Structure 1
Amino acid sequence: MNVYIITGASKGIGFELAKQLSEAGHCVVGMARTDCGLDGMKCYRTDLSELEKLESLMADILTTVQLDAGSITLINNAGMVEPIGLIGTVEALEMSNAIAVNLTAPMILSNTFISKLENFKGKKRIVNISSGAGRNPYEGWGTYCTTKAGLDHFSRVIALEQMKAENPVEIVSIAPGIIDTGMQETIRASSEEAFPLLEKFIDYKDQGMLVSAEQTAKKLISIIENEGFDKIGPIADIRHF
């Protein structure tokens, strides 16, 4: 049995990943603030900003699925682009919340995943959904860019450490491209003062340049299930596949 644990499984890429993997017969466990909306899939209603709950939640999930699993994959997909605004204009609490969801939560979940599965001999994978914003600076996205850059570097460290592990975890932090999800709607609803590249992102939508969440999930699954996953390296971009 292949097990997939997906954060942000109630919408966007997360929902499509959960849907397609479930339909393929895999065991999928979702985490989301709202109901995942998929019959037969276990969905844990959780707010990833409530960091104190995450370690025990992940431990409980792994205890439940581990015995029957041939492989276990954690997909840290949940993320938020807010707050959008030039540094000096954003609210401290919003920055703190975004850092918790985008970076601290994946770190805690990954840490627990690696710890609890230390002796698990099946295939173990962590897929961090990153962004080109973690590799290039964008005005108005100071918090988002920083959290995604942190997620990338965290993945590099894990990859380095796991080279010495007896039962190593394979990890990739992958940028999924520009996708037609609620996050893009949030971006387009911002102001040019807060986000100077606003018109460019409106054009992406108007010119049909956004890829659907369904297409993106399908491509991500093909990458995750590829026998050469361990050769990809800790940092990747979906557009290179």
Structure 2
Amino acid sequence: MNVYFITGVSKGIGFELAKQLSEAGHFVVGIARTMSELDGVKFISADLSETDKLESVMDELFASAPQNAKSFTLINNAGMVDPIGLIGAVNAVEMTNAIAVNLTAPMILSNAFISKLKDFKGSKRIINISSGAGRKAYEGWGTYCTTKAGLDHFSRVVALEQSKEEYPVEIVSIAPGIVDTSMQETIRASNEDAFPLHDQFVTYKEQGLLSSTEQTAQKIISFAENVDFREVGPIADVRNY
């Protein structure tokens, strides 16, 4: 039995990942603030911004997993693009919340995941859903770009550390491309003063240039099933596979 823990399953890529992996016969536990209507997926309610509770969430995840698991995969998918705005005009509370959800939560969950599976001899993987914004600067996305860059670099560090372990955890931080999610709706609802590339992202939608969540989830799953993380390295882009 292959076990998957996935954050942010109430919608978007996370919803599709949970749905497709469950339909393929895997044991899936989804984590989100609001309940998802996903048959065959166990659901745990958690607010990832409440970082002091996340180690307990990981305890709950493992308590729900079958004893005969052959592999464990943690997919840190949850993320938020807000606050959108030029630095100097961003709300500090919103910035703090975004850092917690996009970066602190994946770090804490990954830390607990690695700790609990230290002596597990089966396959162990962490997939961090990153963004091209972590690899290129965008005006108006100071917080989002920074958190995704941090997630990438965190993945590099974990890969380096785990390469020396007897039973290593494989890790990759993968950019999913430009996907038609609620995050894109948030971007299009912003204004050009806050996000100078606003019109470009409106055009992506109008010209049908956004990938669907279904297609993106399929590509991520195919990547996970067919690619050796150690050969690829900790940084990847699903559009290259």
TM-score (norm 1): 0.98
1:153-172 counterparts in 2 under 5 A?
Answer: 153-172=153-172
* Structure 2 unmatched runs, 5+: none
Given residue 238 of structure 1, which amino acid in structure 2 is its aligned partner? V
- Residue 35 of structure 1 aligns with which residue? 35
Partner SS for 1:29: strand
What CA distance in whole angstroms lies between the structure 1 residues aligned with 2:3 and 2:186?
32
Q: Does the CA-based 8 Å contact 1:187-1:198 persist in structure 2?
A: yes
- Residue 145 of structure 1 aligns with which residue? 145
Aligned residues: 241
- Structure 2 residue 175 is matched with structure 1 residue 205: no
Deviation for aligned residue 1:63: 3.4
- Residue 237 of structure 2 aligns with which residue? 237
Sequence identity percentage: 72
Q: C-alpha offsets along residues 35-62 of structure 1, whole Å, 9 cap, x if unaligned?
A: 1211221111111001111001102212
Q: Does the CA-based 8 Å contact 2:30-2:44 persist in structure 1?
A: yes
What CA distance in whole angstroms lies between the structure 1 residues aligned with 2:72 and 2:66?
8
What CA distance in whole angstroms lies between the structure 1 residues aligned with 2:26 and 2:146?
34
What CA distance in whole angstroms lies between the structure 1 residues aligned with 2:232 and 2:22?
25
What CA distance in whole angstroms lies between the structure 1 residues aligned with 2:164 and 2:36?
37
Partner SS for 2:34: coil
Deviation for aligned residue 1:169: 0.2
Partner SS for 1:68: coil
RMSD (CA atoms) = 0.9
- Residue 48 of structure 2 aligns with which residue? 48
Deviation for aligned residue 1:230: 3.0
TM-score (norm 2): 0.98
- Structure 2 residue 83 is matched with structure 1 residue 70: no
Q: Does the CA-based 8 Å contact 1:7-1:32 persist in structure 2?
A: yes
Q: C-alpha offsets along residues 213-232 of structure 1, whole Å, 9 cap, x if unaligned?
A: 00000000000111523322
